[in-house]
Structure 1
Amino acid sequence: MELPESKRGEIIAQLRDKATLKQKVYDNTFAVMSEIKEILQEYAVEANETLEGADRRIRLEYRDRGKLEAQLQLAGDILVFSMHTNTFQFERDNIVWKNSYVQRDRNNSYCGIINIYNFLSDSFRFNRQSDEGYLIGRIFVNHESQYFVEGKRQVSFRHNSFGSGVITYEALTHIVESALGYTLEFDLLVPPFDSQKVVSVEQMNTKIENSRLQTGKRLGYNYNSDDI
């Protein structure tokens, strides 16, 4: 059964418009990811110059992990900035729909996402595959390069600022510094006794070989988006 020309044209127009919109979102988010890489690299160089003569183990190390990911190691922690390849729409009950900028044009709500994770550097060093990292922030970028940041208290820029200005190099620098500051304050806690009292032979043998017993900053605790 063939579609009427009017319906076919409507579908094609909708497909073209939405695909163009999502591509623009991707391009803007990718541009932001590229700027984040520059900031991380510059930050590592400048910080290490300041730390000249200090213990080498506290120096910062930048790693480029491909087009969509970058890492910054600071002492015992690693921050991972990772861009998702897809464009997202917010669920119906998300508070972002109360934002006037989004209410004016639904297309403004389509966003790309750059996730910011905090891992222990030893998790990578000893290849502890079961160790946990923690999402500490998410940067949302739309087709007009408007943005907001969701996450920990030091990292967040509330949804009501969405639509008030495009993301800039200075704003990204502030986001990166906030993430670094939060990470340094986000300490590794001793796991609750009951969460560690049973260990398998395999885990013990693996620990002896490679020091790979599961570790995470909040392992065994509830981890909420507003934790300090």
Structure 2
Amino acid sequence: MAEGKYDKIVELLKKKVSLKQEVYSKTKDVFEELRTMLIEISKDLTAQVKGFDGNLAVSFKDTSEFEVEFTLADETLLFVMHTNIFTFDSTHEVWKSPYVQQNKDNAYCGKIFIYNFLSDSFKYNRPNDIGYLVGRIFINKEKHFFVEGKKQLSYLYNDFSSSVMDQECLMKIIESAILYSLDFDPFTPPFDQQGQISVGEVINANLQSRIATGKRLGFKFQSDSNF
């Protein structure tokens, strides 16, 4: 390999690896803060709901280093940090920001996803049940961030240049995700969609796990246009 090209490859590797490690570190910091806040929210809500309904379940589950579950009654929110770092395609709105135009490195982001599931999907081990992407948080090396999501999450934080992640911002994101999920009620699927079962499913007593359940199963869920 020619010395000039070799040096260029080494230099590019140094720059990219260093940048991505920095973004990863900041994203992980935010995720750890989110984990801590969800634990506290779980404790606070548990204490409050005991006063009017002792059977109302509120819980936090530390699933893995990059995944946590927050359950409130029949709703479960799954928060997942992706371990890779991403940038955006040339048509994305982020490139119109002067903040990114001044330094393209600012476009490299870590991602935290927020999914909504029915709690019974986990409780009764129904692997065919459907969850929905409620929002995703993009965080760069300077902890600037923006959120893509449903309803309030879609406009709560969409100014990448001025939004810097802190506890107050993170709490608003969590609260908005919880409120959206509580207000997002399941529809019963169309009759014909659940019209057939096999004898084997009945004999093996696994009918519950084979009947897919989702809040909008069988209906068009408008997510692609928002994400």
**Does TM, normalized by the shorter one, top 0.5?**
yes
Aligned in 2, Cα 1:109/1:126: closer, same or farther, shift over 3 Å?
A: same
Match of 1:48 among 38, 46, 49: 46
* Aligned counterpart in structure 2 of residue 21 of structure 1, from 19, 22, 26: 19
TM-score by length of 2: 0.92
Whole-angstrom distance in 1 between the partners of 2:64 and 2:148: 24
TM-superposed deviation, 1:201? 3.1
Question: Which runs of structure 2 are paired with 1:125-144 in the superposition (5 Å)?
Answer: 125-144=123-142
Give the Å deviation of 1:105. Answer: 1.3
Structure 1 counterpart of 2:106, from 105, 108, 123? 108
1:90 CA displacement: 1.0
Deviates more, 1:156-165 or 1:9-18: 156-165
Match runs of 1:1-228 below 5 Å? 2-3=1-2, 5-157=3-155, 160-205=158-203, 208-209=205-206, 211-212=208-209, 213-225=211-223
Contact 2:26 2:140 in 1 (8 A): yes
Deviates more, 1:213-222 or 1:158-167: 158-167
Shift of 1:205: 4.5
- Matches of 1:218 and 1:112 in 2, distance apart? 29
Structure 1 residues 13 and 33, CA, compared in 2 at 3 Å: closer, same or farther? same
| Residues 189 and 218, structure 2, Cα contact 8 Å, conserved in 1 | yes
Q: 1:201 to 1:106 in 2, by over 3 A?
A: farther
User: Per-residue displacement from partner, 1:119-169 (whole Å, max 9, x unpaired)?
Assistant: 111110111011111110000001111000001012224775002032001
Q: CA-to-partner distance for each residue in 1:200-228, whole Å, 9 max, x for gaps?
A: 3344445x44622110111111111278x
Deviations 1:16-55 (A, max 9, x none): 0011000011000000100101111110111111112333
Kept in 2, the 8 Å contact 1:96–1:160? The answer is: no
Taking the aligned partners of 2:193 and 2:79, their CA distance within structure 1 comes to: 30
Instruction: Flag the 1:98–1:65 CA change in 2: closer, same or farther, 3 A.
Output: same
More displaced stretch, 70-79 vs 87-96: 87-96
Letter in structure 2 aligned against 1:169: Q
How large is the RMSD of aligned CA atoms in angstroms?
1.8
- 1:53 counterpart SS class: coil
| Separation of aligned partners in 1, 2:216 and 2:162 | 35
Percent of aligned pairs with the same amino acid:
43
- Could you tell me how far apart the structure 2 residues matched to 1:41 and 1:210 are? 34
TM-score by length of 1: 0.92
Q: Number of paired residues?
A: 224
The answer on whether the counterparts of 2:146 and 2:163 sit within 8 Å (CA) in structure 1 is no
Q: Do 2:75 and 2:117's aligned partners in 1 also have CA atoms closer than 8 Å?
A: yes
**Distance across 2 between alignment mates of 1:62 and 1:163:** 33
Stretches of structure 2 that go unaligned for 5 or more consecutive residues are none
Change (3 A) 1:155 1:202: farther
Listed as ranges, the gaps of 5+ residues in structure 1 are none
